[in-house]
Structure 1
Amino acid sequence: MTEPAAPPSPTGPLVGLRVLDLSRVLAGPWCTQVLGDLGAEVIKVEQPGQGDDTRRWGPPFLDDGSRDSAYYLCANRNKRSVAINLSAPEGAALIRRMVLNADVVVENFRVGGLARYGLDYPSLRALKPDLVYCSITGFGQDGPYKDVGGYDFLIQGLSGLMSVTGLPDGVPGGGPMKVGLPVSDLFTGLYATISILAALRHRDQTGEGQHIDLALLDTQVSLLTNQASNWLNGGMAPRRLGNAHPNTVPYQDFRCADGEVLVALGNDRQFRTFTRLIERPELADDPRFSTSADRSVNRAELIPEMNAAIARWKAEDLIGAMEQAGLPGGKVNEIPEALDHPQIRARGLVQEIARRDGTPVKFLGFPARLSATPADYRHAPPRSGEDTAAVLEDELGLTKHELERLLTAGIIAETLS
Structure 2
Amino acid sequence: MTESKKLLEGVKVVELATFIAAATTGRFLADLGADVVKIEQKNGDPLRYTAPSEGRPLDMHENTTWELENGNKRCLSIDTRTEEGKEILFKLLDEADILITNWRTKALVKSGLDYETLKVKYPKLVYGICTGYGEYGPDKDLPGFDFTSFFARGGYLETLRQKSDVPMNVVPGVGDHNVGMNLAAGILAALYHAKMTGKGEKVETSLFETAIFNMGMMVQAAQYTDYGEKYPIDIRNSPNPFLACWKSKEGRYVQTCMPDYNTYFERFMTALGLTEFLGEEKDKYFPVQHLIENGLGPKLYDAIMERFETKTIAEWNEILVEADIPFALAKNWEELLEDDQAWANDCFRKMEYPSGERILVNQPVRYHEMGKTPYEKGPLIGEHTVEVLKELGYDDAKIKELIDSKIAYEWDK
Q: Is residue 202 of structure 1 aligned with residue 215 of structure 2?
A: no
Equivalent residue number for residue 87 of structure 2: 93
Partner of 1:4: none
Q: State the alpha-carbon separation in 2 of the partners of residues 287 and 181 from structure 1.
A: 46
Which structure features the higher share of helix residues?
2
Q: Give the 3-state SS of the residue equivalent to 1:384 in structure 2.
A: coil
1:312 to 301, 310, 324: 310
Asked if the contact 1:353/1:377 (under 8 Å) is kept, the reply is no
> In the alignment, residue 206 of structure 2 is paired with which amino acid?
A
Shift of the alpha carbon at 1:61? 5.4
Q: Is the 8 A contact 1:195 1:212 kept in 2?
A: yes
Residue 191 of structure 1: aligned partner: 182
SS at match of 2:70: coil
Kindly tell me: are residues 262 and 122 of structure 1, through their superposed partners in 2, closer, same or farther at Cα, counting changes over 3 Å? Answer: closer
**1:283–1:290: 8 Å Cα contact kept in structure 2?**
no
Describe how 1:124-143 pairs up with structure 2 within 5 A: 124-143=118-137
Distance in 2 (CA, whole Å) between partners of 1:100 and 1:380 is 27
Amino acid at match of 2:404: T
Equivalent residue of 2:336, what SS? helix
Counterpart Cα distance in 2 of 1:67 and 1:31: 23
Matched, 1:42 2:40: no
Q: Identity of paired residues, percent? A: 23
Could you tell me how far apart the structure 2 residues matched to 1:62 and 1:381 are? 16
Instruction: Tell me the TM-score normalised to structure 1 length.
Output: 0.88
**Partner residue of 2:102 out of 108, 118, 121:** 108
Q: Is the 8 A contact 1:227 1:238 kept in 2?
A: no
Q: CA deviation at 1:124?
A: 2.1
| Amino acid in structure 2 at the alignment position of 1:306 | I
Q: For residue 348 of structure 1, report the CA deviation from its aligned partner.
A: 2.6
Mapped partners of 2:352, 2:393: distance in 1? 28
Given the superposition, is the C-alpha separation of residues 82 and 274 from structure 1 closer, same or farther in structure 2, using an over 3 Å criterion? same
Number of residue pairs the alignment of both structures matches:
401
Q: Determine the C-alpha separation between the residues in 1 that align with 2:382 and 2:207.
A: 28
Do the aligned partners of 2:183 and 2:204 also contact (CA within 8 Å) in 1? no
Q: Secondary structure at the match of 1:118?
A: coil
Select which of 348, 361, 377 maps to 1:364: 361
In the superposition, relative to structure 1, how do residues 325 and 37 fare at CA in structure 2: closer, same or farther (>3 Å)? same
Cα distance between partner residues in 1 of 2:346 and 2:292: 39
Give the drift of 1:43.
Answer: 0.6
Output the TM-score relative to the length of structure 2: 0.88
Is the CA contact (8 Å cut-off) linking 2:337 and 2:359 kept in structure 1?
A: no
- Alpha-carbon contact 2:10-2:34 (below 8 Å) kept: yes
Q: Which amino acid aligns with 1:256?
A: S
Equivalent residue of 1:239, what SS?
coil
- Which one of 368, 385, 389 corresponds to residue 388 of structure 1? 385
Partner SS for 2:75: strand
Show structure 2 runs of 5+ residues with no match. none
Gaps of 5+ in 1: 1-8
Aligned match of 1:401 in 389, 397, 400? 397
**2:47 counterpart of 1:54:** yes
RMSD: 2.7
Mapped contact 1:245–1:252 kept (Cα < 8 A): no
When structure 1 is superposed on structure 2, of 154-163 and 247-256 the one drifting more is: 247-256
1:18: which partner in 2? 12
Asked if structure 1 preserves the Cα contact closer than 8 Å seen for 2:237 and 2:298, the reply is: no
Cα deviation, residue 204, structure 1: 2.2
Distance 1:207 1:409, change over 3 A: same
Deviation string 1:345-393 (CA, Å, 9 cap, x unpaired) is 22232113458x9986641112222211245124211111101111121
Matched, 1:335 2:333: yes
Give the drift of 1:25: 0.4
For the residues of structure 2 that align with 1:250 and 1:195, how far apart are their CA atoms? 37
Deviation, structure 1 residue 246:
6.0
Equivalent residue number for residue 376 of structure 1: 373
Amino acid at match of 1:240: P
Partner of 1:290: 286
Displacement after TM superposition at 1:222 (Å):
1.5
Alpha-carbon distance in 1 for matches of 2:174, 2:236: 20
CA contact (8 A) 1:61 1:68 kept: no
Structure 1 residues 358 and 375 mapped into 2: Cα distance closer, same or farther (>3 Å)? farther
**CA distance in structure 2 between the aligned counterparts of 1:21 and 1:148, rounded to whole angstroms:** 21
Closer/same/farther in 2, CA of residues 359 and 127 from structure 1, 3 Å limit: farther
